[in-house]
Amino acid sequence: MSDKTQQKSNNPPINNDRFSELRNRFSKKKNSEYPIQKECYIKDDIDNKIKEFERILESEVELSNKLDDNAETKIQEASDFFNDNKDIIEEQFDKLCSLENDICSLMEENKQKQELDKNYNELVNKEEYKNLASKIKKLNSKIQNLDFFLVKSGVKDY
List, for residues 77-98, the tens digit of each pLDDT value: 889 999 999 999 999 999 999 9
List, for residues 12-54, the tens digit of each pLDDT value: 555 666 666 666 666 656 677 788 788 878 888 889 889 989 9
Distance CA(31)–CA(12), nearest Å, equals 36
Distance CA(138)–CA(155), nearest Å, equals 23
Q: How many CB atoms lie within 10 A of CB 158?
A: 8
pLDDT band at 5 (very low <50, low <70, confident <90, very high): very low
Distance CA(125)–CA(29), nearest Å, equals 9
Mean per-residue pLDDT for 112-119? Answer: 80
Supply the pTM of this predicted model.
0.40
Alpha helices in the chain (DSSP H): 3-8, 16-26, 34-40, 43-66, 71-115, 118-124, 127-152
Instruction: Please provide the average confidence, as pLDDT, over all residues in the chain.
Output: 81
Q: Which of 67, 75, 57 is nearest to 156 (CA)?
A: 57
Distance CA(154)–CA(129), nearest Å, equals 37
> Is the pLDDT higher at 64 or at 138?
138
**Whats the size of the chain, residue-wise?**
158
